[in-house]
Structure 1
Amino acid sequence: MSTSSSGSPDGLKPLNIRYYGFNHLFRLSKKSTTSRYRKPGQVGTVVADGEPGAPERVPVGPSDATSEYDIVIIGGGTAGCVLASRLSERADIRVLLLEAGKSSTEVAASRVPAGFMALMRGPCDYKLETVPQANCFGRRVYWPRGKFLGGCSGMNALICHHGSPSDYDEWAMNTDPGAEDWKYENFKRHVMYFENLTPQTLTSEKKPLEGARKAGVSVGYSGHYSNAAAKWHAACETLGIPVKENLSTSLGVSRVTTYIDPRGRRSTTESGYLTREVLSRPNLTVVVGAQVTKIVFGDTEKGLRAVGVDFRRKDGLVYRVRARREVVLSAGAVHTPQILMLSGVGPSEHLASNNVPLVHNLPGVGLSLKDHPWVMMRFRAKKNESLSSYLEPSLKYDHKRVVALFQWLLKHDGPYTSNGAEVAAFVRATDPILFPAPQGSPKLEDTTSGPNAPDLELLASPGCVKNLGGEKIPSGGVFGLVAASLRPTSVGTIKLKSANPSDPPIIDPNYLDTKHDVDVLVRGIRLMLEIVKTEPFASIVDQTDTHPDLDHGLHKLSDDELENVVRQRVETIFHPVGTAKMAPLSAGGVVDPYLRVHGIPNLRIVDASIMPTIIR
């Protein structure tokens, strides 16, 4: 790669990065750096004006070397950045990573752990929503998805935990060859390679993840642990929930470990894996602002193969790059099935109904969608016990935000290092001690992967939101207490709205379609209400506030009434999986244990859409 007339390596133009303050309160001085990423138009060959054409099969032959790569990765999200970095370690492999968004390093709210709610419904969020949910009074549920490098690792709540070993062992029960590699003991070593233990001074005595070593993303404890979180933790212990040193175990209550670096900033797969050193590799090209419109296929002596990718830039031009060896989909559980179907790979009848020519009939694409549904309860905090005032636009709290900003910048700790969910408990909804059943009551089905696996998560937040920030909450200090179902039995779908790549897909998680899922969340609310009235947490909750948006009277409701609360409030904790699941073709699978799409051996999928079951 040469230096262009612009004077910068690889023809890359200088990029001004502006750091905007949390909730637009402050702006720091503008910085300028050399852009590390290519823009659409510097890679590929123009194939169309405006919207791309229908899926097609093209002859496989020689092409312009500047438009050909060994491996093309679609989606620079949580997995895509890691894969691009690792594959390009081999100098003989030319790798292209395509990302629809921009760099998360340009977005200040993504660097500030407490700023993740400011990303919701913003320009770096796809701003998706479900169809009206039949079991939730017809509500549409907002689904945030990251639209920048690092993907949802740049806009989630930063919590780091492995899940239950038996969840992964369940994946290994797949009858296809290679499935045994997914057993937790095999999988764990790759997780450890991914994580870089970064203990903070405040909690140096802790051991967040036993065995973690220096690697890509940083894992540690934030520089802020609220008094409210500590008291909630103690109340859980009083009720008999076992205390665990870290959340890499399955059951118990613990302070959460987070993806945070030693300077108190969010650690993402972009910041951890697409470093300047990595991006200087001549065999790695990263293109931002490139919306993939379809995968291009060709008939070869070896059968149907993925031979290229079309992507569109903002001006409407569509470019094509060729893939000599493989195409890898890493667009997430929503967009991966959409791209497959736009490319002609999916259920034949559904493709025909959207006028998409069939390339490969694969009935499981877009099916088997699962997500973790959650319900938030809101309680008035006594003075100075909540962080919710940091989220309010009122000038009344500006001084607090300015102080917190400089605490974060200079000391790398304080409220802005909080992830908003500082402590969590994982329990079993069938635990007879936590949930003593009245005589003759129906037994709740155990949907977990094993006796040590949880199906219910409780989270305590020193702040509070409503509809993921889409609606106002009562002003002043408010706690947000969450119950989430970890092993729901309801199953949903992702479908095409049309053959136009600009149209978002039709998302139907089918929330609360089974009584089991409702009952688990009702039990979660009941347990949370017990924690609220248990010391020492009870002493910092102001039970006298009767604001209609607060839940101090929730304990008076019957189970039937709480069921309505669940249906009125259920939201996503943004963990969709399964829409291109790893399973035998006969069982509705889309990929094999080596993540190759059934029937297209050089097309792989590496994101959460391949998960055959949802992990806790």
Structure 2
Amino acid sequence: MSATATYDFIIIGAGSAGCVLARRLSAQSHRRVLLLEAGGRDVNPFIHMPAGLAQLVHNRRINWNYYTEPEPELENRRLYWPRGKVLGGCSSINAMCYVRGQPEDYDDWARDGAIGWGYDDVLPFFRKAEHQQHGASRYHGGSGPMWVENLRSRNPLTDTFVAAAVASGLPRNDDFNGERQEGAGYYQVTQRGGRRCSAATAYLRAARKRPNLTILTHALVERLLIDRRRVVGVDYRIGSRRYTAFCESEVLLSAGTVNSPQLLMLSGIGPADHLRSLGLDVILDQPSVGENLQDHLDICTLYKSTRPVTYDFNRLQELRVLFQYWLKKRGAGVSNIAEAGAFACSSSAARDRPDIQMHFVPAQLDDHGRNRLPGHGFTLHACHLHPRSRGRIGLRSNRPDEAPLIYANYLHDSRDMQVMLEALRFSRQILRSQAFDELRGEEILPGITDGSDTELTRFIRHKAETVYHPVGTCRMGGDSSAVVDATLRVRGISGLRVIDASIMPKIVSGNTNAPTIMIAEKAADLILTYG
């Protein structure tokens, strides 16, 4: 590898969006494409074993291991934010739930100025990406790279949850990505034959042998090279050696909601006063870079199980699970852990669309799985889908290798707490229903006999955590203050687009991986069709 090289496209970040872009753009053999990833290759076997995700939360080799700054409304706790640092990005470490959100999410984007991003505009790109186990239909694609399947094996407690949620008033829903989202049912997952189907597996494997695609791992991009407000290349580092790559067409920034605004600011694009305070030259004063941060705040309800049927395994049982998985791709090893879920409407905020999402886990899950509890139990996550609170990303220093500042500002808008309270109450109602009577032991979380708003609010402030869906820090829109326009070009800078979850004007109503892949599919089509 030479110290300098020239490409048509340089893609920064090999996460969910970057992998899509690399495959689609390199399909034209005359285009030279460079894909730069700060993490390493996806060789850890627990990445590919679905239930192995429990072993990845601690792994600093494949995880940025970010923390927020102290959150004022959450007892000044610093919340843990795992983000993928490996080929495939977060799609290599997530729970594989395939959820697109609501049609209204995208219609809201278009109504607010993101022309061409309404539901009818984006549905073809969801379908283009998807290889649905049940075949193509109005809502689903049957021949895309990203395989979407039913779980091969489920814990019996998962069936109990679905029955309990339906008995609690929710309709049964066999397809959260179909005609309607509301209801309870089983999550489909991004798996193929019992193995995780990450963006790297789905998109890069078929493309990595192309001679016009160069993939470099452990490559930390330090700054964009800008000449007269045009991005002409990047400086990056592998180990102690520094390199420069030049670009004749466009640099595509796909580093994610945290790192995309960080790199823009390190390169002189961002709030002028903030950049100058850190000794950075200001190329473009853009106050919106890093703003508009949104995330789904999550609260867990946890009960002990009276029967040892959960995934709370001892070491010997874990070895048996491993053996069964590697031999037959069956059993608990294929579980994504969050096997079923529900979408419900609160009375305080919802109009005609769900604003609460649930993930049921047939195991005890506390502090992102880092606090291992004795015995057996089951956990119900509940998050607020449409938070009004907004945060921001800032620079801690002018060093590219130093973690940025994350101010999530959870519950800054007091109306968000009202929905969280309803989500918690409904979670307890479901787990206390008759379907769980023979399995339900002691309530561990919240473990409060006084169910007053005061006590439950205190519990939420003490225990709520992220459910890993940060978006919005390079907002797309039709107004001049938006960071990118509807073609994802950075306003005021040529030769540069941002293509990842950071461009979402508003957070989608569910998990963010499938929408991020859709964004990259649509962006690749825009680039290849219109330039």
TM-score after normalising by structure 1: 0.80
- The answer on 1:292 being equivalent to 2:218 is no
1:425-472 per-residue CA deviation (whole Å, 9 max, x = no partner) reads 101112xxxxxxxxxxxxx344xxxx4421111221001222113333
1:532-583 per-residue CA deviation (whole Å, 9 max, x = no partner) reads 121212321113x7xxxx1374353211110010000111111111100002
Taking the aligned partners of 1:209 and 1:218, their CA distance within structure 2 comes to 17
Taking the aligned partners of 1:306 and 1:483, their CA distance within structure 2 comes to 42
Deviation at residue 237 of structure 1 after TM alignment: 0.8
Check 1:353–1:234 CA distance in 2 against 1; reply closer, same or farther (3 A cut): same
- The answer on 1:115 being equivalent to 2:15 is no
Taking the aligned partners of 1:207 and 1:213, their CA distance within structure 2 comes to 4
Partner secondary structure for residue 406 of structure 2: strand
Check 1:387–1:208 CA distance in 2 against 1; reply closer, same or farther (3 A cut): farther
Correspondences of 1:247-258 after superposition (within 5 Å): 247-248=176-177, 249-258=180-189
Taking the aligned partners of 1:339 and 1:88, their CA distance within structure 2 comes to 24
1:499-542 per-residue CA deviation (whole Å, 9 max, x = no partner) reads 01111000010011122111111111111111112121232111
Name the structure 2 match of 1:27: none
Taking the aligned partners of 1:94 and 1:239, their CA distance within structure 2 comes to 56
Which amino acid is the alignment partner of residue 503 of structure 2? I
**8 Å CA contact retained: 1:208, 1:257:** no
Partner secondary structure for residue 96 of structure 1: strand
- The answer on 1:421 being equivalent to 2:338 is yes
Which amino acid is the alignment partner of residue 422 of structure 2? R
Correspondences of 1:354-433 after superposition (within 5 Å): 354-389=278-313, 397-430=314-347
Partner secondary structure for residue 529 of structure 1: helix
Name the structure 2 match of 1:520: 419
Name the structure 2 match of 1:188: 123
Which amino acid is the alignment partner of residue 312 of structure 1? R
**8 Å CA contact retained: 1:100, 1:291:** yes
Partner secondary structure for residue 258 of structure 1: coil
1:48-105 per-residue CA deviation (whole Å, 9 max, x = no partner) reads xxxxxxxxxxxxxxxxxxx00000000000000010000011111110000011111x
Taking the aligned partners of 1:224 and 1:607, their CA distance within structure 2 comes to 32
Partner secondary structure for residue 274 of structure 2: helix
Taking the aligned partners of 2:2 and 2:329, their CA distance within structure 1 comes to 39
Name the structure 2 match of 1:504: 403
- The answer on 1:267 being equivalent to 2:197 is yes
Correspondences of 1:81-92 after superposition (within 5 Å): 81-92=19-30
1:458-487 per-residue CA deviation (whole Å, 9 max, x = no partner) reads 2210012221133332x1112111111111
Pairing partner for 2:500 from 584, 592, 607? 607
Name the structure 2 match of 1:529: 428
Pairing partner for 2:233 from 301, 308, 312? 308
Taking the aligned partners of 1:113 and 1:573, their CA distance within structure 2 comes to 18
Which amino acid is the alignment partner of residue 465 of structure 1? L
Taking the aligned partners of 1:463 and 1:208, their CA distance within structure 2 comes to 34
Name the structure 2 match of 1:453: 353
Which amino acid is the alignment partner of residue 457 of structure 2? E
**8 Å CA contact retained: 1:192, 1:212:** yes
1:139-179 per-residue CA deviation (whole Å, 9 max, x = no partner) reads 0000000000100001111000111001001111133xxx3
Name the structure 1 match of 2:79: 141
Name the structure 2 match of 1:469: 369
Which amino acid is the alignment partner of residue 492 of structure 2? G
**8 Å CA contact retained: 1:207, 1:245:** no
Check 1:480–1:513 CA distance in 2 against 1; reply closer, same or farther (3 A cut): same
Which amino acid is the alignment partner of residue 270 of structure 1? A
Taking the aligned partners of 1:44 and 1:161, their CA distance within structure 2 comes to 42
Deviation at residue 209 of structure 1 after TM alignment: 9.2
Correspondences of 1:75-114 after superposition (within 5 Å): 75-104=13-42, 106-114=43-51
Taking the aligned partners of 1:598 and 1:457, their CA distance within structure 2 comes to 34
**8 Å CA contact retained: 2:136, 2:142:** no
Taking the aligned partners of 1:579 and 1:356, their CA distance within structure 2 comes to 20
Which amino acid is the alignment partner of residue 467 of structure 1? D
Taking the aligned partners of 1:339 and 1:419, their CA distance within structure 2 comes to 32
Name the structure 2 match of 1:282: 211
- The answer on 1:484 being equivalent to 2:422 is no
Which amino acid is the alignment partner of residue 597 of structure 1? V
Check 1:207–1:284 CA distance in 2 against 1; reply closer, same or farther (3 A cut): closer
Name the structure 1 match of 2:457: 563
Check 1:572–1:77 CA distance in 2 against 1; reply closer, same or farther (3 A cut): same
Point out where structure 1 has 5 or more consecutive residues left out of the alignment: 1-41, 46-66, 200-205, 390-396, 431-443
Name the structure 2 match of 1:14: none
Taking the aligned partners of 1:270 and 1:43, their CA distance within structure 2 comes to 26
1:403-441 per-residue CA deviation (whole Å, 9 max, x = no partner) reads 2122212221210111111110101112xxxxxxxxxxx
The one of the two structures with greater contact order (alpha-carbon pairs below 8 A, sep at least 6) is 2
- The answer on 1:350 being equivalent to 2:250 is no
- The more displaced of 454-463 and 128-137 is 454-463
Taking the aligned partners of 1:460 and 1:535, their CA distance within structure 2 comes to 17
Taking the aligned partners of 2:354 and 2:340, their CA distance within structure 1 comes to 16
1:275-330 per-residue CA deviation (whole Å, 9 max, x = no partner) reads 1x41121111111110000000012xxxx21000011111x221100001100000
Taking the aligned partners of 2:3 and 2:437, their CA distance within structure 1 comes to 61
**8 Å CA contact retained: 1:494, 1:506:** yes
Taking the aligned partners of 2:32 and 2:306, their CA distance within structure 1 comes to 58
**8 Å CA contact retained: 1:229, 1:423:** yes
1:12-47 per-residue CA deviation (whole Å, 9 max, x = no partner) reads xxxxxxxxxxxxxxxxxxxxxxxxxxxxxx2543xx
Deviation at residue 208 of structure 1 after TM alignment: 11
Check 1:207–1:374 CA distance in 2 against 1; reply closer, same or farther (3 A cut): farther
Name the structure 2 match of 1:48: none
1:576-614 per-residue CA deviation (whole Å, 9 max, x = no partner) reads 11100002343x310000000001132001100000000
Name the structure 1 match of 2:512: none
Name the structure 2 match of 1:132: 70
Point out where structure 2 has 5 or more consecutive residues left out of the alignment: 510-531
Pairing partner for 1:589 from 482, 487, 498? 482
Check 1:255–1:208 CA distance in 2 against 1; reply closer, same or farther (3 A cut): farther
- The more displaced of 190-199 and 253-262 is 190-199
**8 Å CA contact retained: 1:456, 1:524:** yes
TM-score after normalising by structure 2: 0.92
Which amino acid is the alignment partner of residue 235 of structure 1? A
Identical residues among aligned pairs (%): 35
Q: CA RMSD in A?
A: 1.7
Taking the aligned partners of 2:359 and 2:12, their CA distance within structure 1 comes to 34
Check 1:239–1:184 CA distance in 2 against 1; reply closer, same or farther (3 A cut): same
> Which runs of 4 or more aligned residues in structure 1 lie more than 4 Å from their structure 2 counterparts after TM superposition?
206-210
Name the structure 1 match of 2:517: none
Deviation at residue 402 of structure 1 after TM alignment: 2.3
Partner secondary structure for residue 135 of structure 1: helix
Taking the aligned partners of 2:30 and 2:94, their CA distance within structure 1 comes to 35
